[in-house]
Each structure stands twice: as structure tokens, then as C-alpha cells.
Chains A and B, each alone.
Chain A
């Protein structure tokens, strides 16, 4: 589903340039649940942003669903994101002046979908994310976990095949985090969604079936684990993280 070849990304800070991604090659298949881990500043978010077309790589190719992101115009990339990718952010990034319903409906309105079908989709998503009764609430009136569920519902509204999540549990306590992870996990299993999740948290990563470890802008390791978690693999990641 996703092919990444020789990606490099350099940021310019004043006169100094800083190479964040130093050549990444990666293939991701449909239906995978991937956790990207790595120390702070290793380029996890940068990589995720490139995958989602929020930013552009300096060198290299990114293909998502056979579409070459780097060859697209700005507008084509936006439309591609809208239709094919769902985003979930650490700090939820809900639109503060819109209600739960309106937040979820936002991408569909932007796509000019008919109002009736928007309404059904919203109702379904509210149900599946257990937000019944909160439809008219504003984000500031919700708990962190509820907000993140709204954000997931919004990410799913255009029925994307790929969900990119940057530390979705980063702001949540263990209980709420688990709820979110279970939700993502069930989406992955029931709807065969491809999920790429950046996380610091081993516990969160244990929900994934493949863990990619980034370090200094390079892939340090890439481990597939069987359903339910492979204890050996986990142990090796922990050693690597600590080293």
C-alpha cells in the first residue's frame, strides 16, 4: 500500500541546516497496524507528516495507493488526504468552535457530500465511538479520551483506507489510552484499516503488529510481531530503546 524510497528531509534553522530524515526506505502493506517508535527528535512526526502529504520530502519517493505524493499539486494532495487518509493527533486538534457533530462532519462538508448521507455517517460514527449524547457538545466540554474519540470519528468520516496517528494516547491516562487503543485495534481488525501510529509508549506499541524504530533519522529496526505480541521481539526493542 505504501512505498517509501530514499526519503530525506532537511530543516533549515537560520543558517544551519539539520537533516532530520537521512534516507528512509519502507514498504507498508494493506491492513498493517504499525507503531513507529524512537527517541524524541528522531523524526517520527516528520516521517508521518510526509506520509500524510502535510509536508514534502527533499529527496525520495512516497507512493500511497499507487499515487505518487511528490508529483501531486498542493490541491491534489489536499484532496488525496481528504479522501484517503484519516489523521489523529496527540492533542486531538478538534475545531474548538464546532460541536462534536460538526467536527465529525467537517471533512464531508468540505467534500460537498449530500447532507442526508453526512447525517447518517455522523450518526453511525457517534455510535461506534460511543459518543451518544455528546453530539451538541463543544470540544472544551469533553474529556481528553472523548475528544480523541471525536478526532478518530472525524478521521474515519471519509472512510479512508489509511489512518495516521501521532501519539494518539500521549495526552491520556492509561485507562483512557487503552480505550483509544482498543478502538483503533478494533478498526484495524473489523474494517481492515491500515494504521500507522507514532508512540513513545511500549504499552501502546504492543497493540500494533509491526514496530518500526527510528533513531537519528534512520530506521534502526523493523520488527513484525505475531498477534497478541511477541515477547522476545518486545524485549529486543526495549533494549534498543534504552541503548
Chain B
């Protein structure tokens, strides 16, 4: 019958149970949503990579961009291979009325030697893969307003030509084009066709650009690829292991961390509220527990009684929280992946999110209830009747001393100082809150009612300070996130300009020859032009392989227009060091992942060879999202002789219009250039991604603040319910209802103001420490005044709103009834 007794207890304290449930529910909801969002993001990026590399194990490229198809035929004979595809990319322009501008009509055609293998999974919606036309994605077909079998006119080196749409397939990474016409000016349209088709259309018989290989299972891949390499005996070929590391192309780690932090905060607040409620429940029911024990309940049965209550709340919380978690996750993921401009179908992932949030949703509340429940089971039968539950102040001194010692940790010049600060503030919170509350009472700006509220707050300091602390942490987190975003926003254009390498970047499907460079430099407004190569290299960290893009550095160009930035003082030094033999410069992100020190050597695998390169520094770049490295022309030649350049940088004369040069480039080389990006386009592109992510975080922080509100409400309800009789006396002899409202709202305000003030202090200090210790020089010490204002307003609104209900509840009890309470 224990379960019945527990249920009755819950029903008896309806509003308390309700708000505790609400807190658990929101905790579970948020937790599920963030875990699922991170999971989905990881899945998406991996999936995207996989689709992009077509599940291949190895790729073969050539230093001169294209090579003979005969190599494909030769490799194909290897019996270890289960699938193989040869492919080549070419540029063209579409002739469609919907394209208003020639920049919107760039199409990247990919020719494939075979459609029918496991390296490619196309989900045909209409038409047939076998026919001799082009294959486009669903989104593209919609934007072009073309159906399977219809005709598209494209521009080719020998004039325009009609091609038919042979098939429309579901969106996939390989065919990811613009999601709207707007996007089309910055992004190529994509289409697939057969290799033969491309070779014919572009008069490039036998040419391919890449081979992708998938080996049979249980094949020793390294020896197979070495065998292939030896049999081909071709110095130009680059054999590259495909490394699927979603971090390589996406620096999402920080985003994930923030998401987890907010989800964790939500669950923690829920648990805190539960702890508070149970603690008071136990204190209130001491007599009851004592009676139960005298009639023969064992301590364990008492424990079970309370744990059952928690379990009921948790089960209801889970039943309601998981579906609402799904809804929130959907909302989050729409927001998040919307701002990332992917048009791959977003399928919500919850393989880990579901069991994990169920598990944590049970474990965390159970842990939170452990202390009060144990306390309940230990209630002493004899002494329980006399003592009124008073907050224990014991251990406060020890706590303060430890807090002060930990606080010294803020002087450590490392990110650990932030942790020290946080721990110190948690430890010192009650004493800070006490001091501030006394200050509030002294200044008596909340009037007589405020001074009464101040006293009650001090009497329930532990309980109230827990909630106030959580508000402070939420505000601190909000300020930190906001400061980081403001910092990024303010710096992003500056840093793009610093590391864009000129005014225009372009990349070509074919090698950039000296004639082409000459042609470009003759264009109006072009001051200078430079071509460089990019190649992939594998390195390893532990057992895992990582891959990065090695960018060829030309010293004379970089001294004025680098593709990276470092501290101004170091820039020249780094470039000089890069000139030395066997050196490499790492991008910030690769450097961190690698984990070594400047001056250490790094082992890089290229074409099966091991190369030791000395790391001469780390730099930031806004141009490459993932792992990057910079290497001098000479050093790259050591790894790979004669890699032909496929990338270019253009410097314009002052006052030259970037877009007119871009158009001229595209018109001059319609079939070679796969992308042309101007500095201004890049700036606006990078800036565009921020507001979406920012509003996402604002939303999550709002949730955190709302839960904090529920927590304050819960705390105040308990504070008030403890004092029903007292409040009744006040009303009987002198206080009007309004004065009671004022008292309780003041109490909420005191909790809120403490949280706000300490939160702002904590926030600003955290921002400072983060800026000081952060490796990322994009992060600066910026005090987000606007967010501070918003936190103050939100904090005040939340704490006032949270106090309305408790004061209403207690005012509703008739005076004569409340005088009888004890």
C-alpha cells in the first residue's frame, strides 16, 4: 500500500507537486532536445561527408588534376576491390529564364563511370538513371521548374546544347546545389551524368579527375593500395585514404558544448527543485514519519515511500517530457540546420538521446532525492515532535574558507580559472547573498515589507540561495554566449578581410595555367593574381586518422595578403620560419586536435610515405572551417612534386567593383571555374550564419530562465507555506492583502536581484577570463550591455511573476484558518 500512500501525498500538495513535475518535465524535454540535436548534427555532418565521398575507402587523384581513364581500367582489375568509380567535374552555365543573372547559372557537372554500385546511392524520384541525360536533385528540379524527360539548354565550349533531364533523385550531398535562386549566385548548381557524356561534351577523351575505391570486406587495405600503386608506377598519382571525421569540416564542438551546458543546466535546475521540495516535504512530515515509525514502518519503507513519490513524478515527467522533447528538438533542429544552409533532409536522430534522457531523467532526480529521503528515513521518533525544521548553518564557515581559497584560482592563466571562479561562487554564494540581502534591507528600498522579506530570506538562506545561484549561472551563461557572439560579429569582417588573401578567390576544375593567369592579370581592375595548390594529407592522433587540407603558401603574396592571420608581430616571423625546410604551419583547430607544441614535429602520411614536418606555429583562418595546414611551395614539392595549382587569388585596384571582375572571370572561363568568391560575398555569408545560431541560444537561455522562474516559484511557495500562520497573524492584526503581496514579491525580488547582481558579476568575470585565456583571438573581452539589460529585465520579470502565485495562494487562505495552522 506504499504506492497508494505516496500517491496521496502527491495529490495532497497539488500545486507543489505540479511545479516539481513541471521542472522535471522541462528538464527532460530540454535534455532530450539538446542530445538529439547534437546527435542529429553529428549524424548529418558524417552523412554528408559519406555521401560526398561516396563511402569510398580510398581516392586517387593526380597532381595535374586530370589523368587518363586507362588508369581506371587498370585499377579495376584488382580483385580486392568491391566497387570503383571514376569521375570528373566540369563547369557549365544553364540557359534558363529563371536565372536573372549569369552568376546564378553556374552548373557543376559531374561525370561518373558507373551509377550502379555501392559508392553511390541515388534515390530515384522520377525518370531513369540509365538514360543519356543529366541527373538532378529534387530541389534543383523544383527551382528550375523542370520534370524528368524535359530539356535543359546548357553552354558548352563548342556552343549551346540541349540535354535532357534523365532522372530526378532525392537530395543528396553529391547533388547539393542552391536551396533557392538567391543562393544560386554563391553556389553552383549540381548535376550528374555519365563520364562518357562529359568526355564527349567537353572534348576531353579518356580524361578523369578522380577514382574512388571501395575494398571488399576483410581486405588488408594498406597492402592492397600499395600493390595498386606499385603496379601503376605513376608519380603523378596521389593515393588518399578517406578519413571520415566530421570535425574536419565543421567546428561544431563549441556549439555542442554550449548545447549540452544548457541542457544540463535545465536538468540540474529540475533536480534542484525536486531536492528543495522533498526536503521541505520531509521536514513538514516529520511528525507523520515519526508516527509511521512507531507503528512499525522500517526506515527502508519510509525511504521507499518518498522514493515512490519521486518515481511517480519522474514517470509522468518522462511520459510527457519525451514527446515534448521531440517537439523542442524539431524546433531546435529546424533553427539550427536552417541557419547552416544545408538542404539535405534533416532526419531527427535519437538513438542515444532517447535512452540517455530516460536514464538521466530517472537517475538525476533519484540522486537529487537521496539526501532528503535518507534524512527522512533517519527521522528520530522521539525528538521529531519538538523541533521545527530550521536551516542548518553548520559547515558554512568551512564552505566560505574553501570558497576563498578556490577563488584564488582565477589568477591561474588558464581556462581552469573559469572553473575555479564558478566553484568559488557556488561555495561563496550563501555568504554573498547574505551580505547583499542585508544591504538591501539596510537601504530599505523595498520598504518595510522588503525588510520583512529580507529577514525571511536570511532564515531560508540555503533554500533561497540555491535558486538564486541557478539564476546567476543562467545569467552568466547568457552573458558569456552573448559576448562570444558579439565578439565574433564584430571581428568576423575584420578577420575575413585579414585572411581572405586578396579581393577574389577562385577555384578551377582544371589546373590553372600561366596563360590563364596572364589573361586574368590583363583584366580591368586586376592588380595582381596568384595561383596555388591545395592537397589533402593524412595525419594521425592515437589510433585515429585525421585529414587536412594543406595550402601552398607563396611568401611574397602572403606577406601582404595572407590566407591566415596571427598576431601582427608574429606574422612575418611565421612566414620566414615556413621558408625553412620541412616545416608546416597549422590552423588553430588542427593544432588543438594535434595537441603538440610549436617546434614539435608532426608526422604526415602522404602517398604511403611518412613525412616529419616541424610545426612552426599556429594561425587562425576564416577561410577553412576544419583542419588546415599551410606549407611552402618547396616543402610541398618534397611531399608531392609538381602539384598543379587549382586555386587562385586576385588582388584588385582600389575602387574596383569586385562583382564586375567576378562576372568577367566567369564569362571568360565558363567551363573551368568551379567557384568565384568575392571578399564582400564572403563577409556577408559569414555574418549571415550568426543570427540564426544566436537566436537559437537565446531561445534555449529563455528556457533556462523560465525553469529558474519555476524554481523560484517553487522555493517561494515552500517559504510561504511554511509561514501560513505567520502571514495569517500579519493579516489579522495589520497587513492588507496588498502588503502581503508586497512582502512575498519582495522575497522573490531579493532572490532575483541577488541572482541578477551576482550573475552579472560572474558573467563579466567569466567573459574576462575566457577572453584572457582563450586560444581563439576572435574572442575578445566585450561586455554585452544589451544582454545585461535584458537579463536584468528578464530576471526581474521572472522573479516577480514567480512570486505572484505563492502570494495569491497564501492570501486566499482565510485568516481564521491560517491562524490555526502550525
Contact = CB atoms under 8 A, between A and B. Distances in A.
Q: A and B: real partners?
A: yes
Contact of B734 (A54, A75, A110): A110
B729 A79 contact: no
Contacts of B735: 78, 110
B814 A55 contact: yes
B455 A97 contact: yes
A50 to B, nearest CB: 10
Interface residues of B, number: 21
A40 interface: no
Contacts of A75: 736-738
Interface string B701-745: 000000000000000000000000110011111111111000000
A79 B814 CA distance: 17
B513 interface: no
B819 interface: yes
A89 B459 CA distance: 25
A93 B819 contact: yes
Contact of A95 (B448, B726, B736, B816): B726
Contact of A74 (B456, B459, B725, B737): B737
B733 A81 contact: yes
B737 A93 contact: no
B730 A106 contact: yes
Chain B interface, >50% SS class: helix
Contact of A54 (B448, B730, B816): B816
B416 interface: no
A125 to B, nearest CB: 14
Contacts of A158: 734
Interface in A36-54: 45, 49, 52, 54
A96 interface: yes
Nearest to B726: A95
A58 interface: no
A70 to B, nearest CB: 16
A33 interface: no
Nearest to A166: B819
A95 B738 contact: no
A98 B448 CA distance: 13
Interface string A71-82: 000110011011
A94 B455 CA distance: 15
Interface string B445-469: 0001000000110010000000000
A87 B738 contact: no
Interface in A88-121: 89, 93-98, 106-107, 109-112
A54 B732 CA distance: 6
B815 interface: yes
Nearest to B815: A54
Task: Name, among B731, B734, B736, the residue most crowded by chain A CB atoms within 10 Å (CB to CB).
Answer: B734
A87 B733 contact: yes
A8 interface: no
Nearest to B731: A78
A9 to B, nearest CB: 11
A78 B736 contact: yes
A218 B730 CA distance: 31
Contacts of A149: none
Nearest to A86: B733
B455 A49 contact: no
Contacts of B448: 109-110, 112
B747 to A, nearest CB: 12
A154 interface: yes
Contacts of B737: 74-75, 78
Given A55-B815, A89-B819, A110-B739, A97 B733 contact: no
Contacts of A111: 734
A58 B819 CA distance: 21
Contacts of B815: 49, 54-55
A75 B816 CA distance: 16
Nearest to A112: B448
A87 B732 contact: yes
Given A55-B814, A75-B738, A154 B726 contact: no
B726 A79 contact: no
A89 B822 CA distance: 14
A143 to B, nearest CB: 17
Contact of A49 (B725, B733, B816): B816
Nearest to A77: B736
B438 to A, nearest CB: 14
Contacts of B734: 78, 81-82, 106-107, 110-111, 158
Contacts of B739: 110
B816 A97 contact: no
Nearest to B459: A97
Task: Name, among B729, B738, B739, the residue most crowded by chain A CB atoms within 10 Å (CB to CB).
Answer: B729
A114 to B, nearest CB: 12
Given A54-B815, A54-B816, A95 B729 contact: yes
A111 B734 CA distance: 8
A95 B455 CA distance: 12
Contacts of B456: 97
Task: Name, among B455, B725, B816, the residue most crowded by chain A CB atoms within 10 Å (CB to CB).
Answer: B816
Contacts of B731: 78
Contacts of A112: 448
A54 B729 CA distance: 10
Interface in A157-186: 158
Contacts of B459: 97
A95 B732 contact: no
A79 B459 CA distance: 29
Interface in B632-662: none
A109 B459 CA distance: 21
A158 B646 CA distance: 93
Task: Name, among A49, A54, A55, A158, the residue most crowded by chain B CB atoms within 10 Å (CB to CB).
Answer: A54
A37 B459 CA distance: 40
Contacts of A52: 732
B815 to A, nearest CB: 5
Contacts of B730: 95, 106, 110
Interface string B359-384: 00000000000000000000000000
Interface string B799-822: 000000000000000111001000
Interface in A47-69: 49, 52, 54-55
Interface in A180-194: none
A233 to B, nearest CB: 31
7 contacts: A75-B737, A75-B738, A79-B736, A93-B732, A97-B455, A110-B735, A155-B733
Q: Which are the 8 A-B pairs with shortest beta-carbon distances?
A: A110-B734, A107-B734, A82-B734, A93-B729, A78-B736, A109-B448, A54-B815, A55-B816
Interface of A: 45, 49, 52, 54-55, 74-75, 78-79, 81-82, 86-87, 89, 93-98, 106-107, 109-112, 154-155, 158
Given A45-B816, A112-B448, 7 more contacts: A55-B814, A78-B735, A96-B726, A106-B733, A110-B448, A110-B735, A111-B734
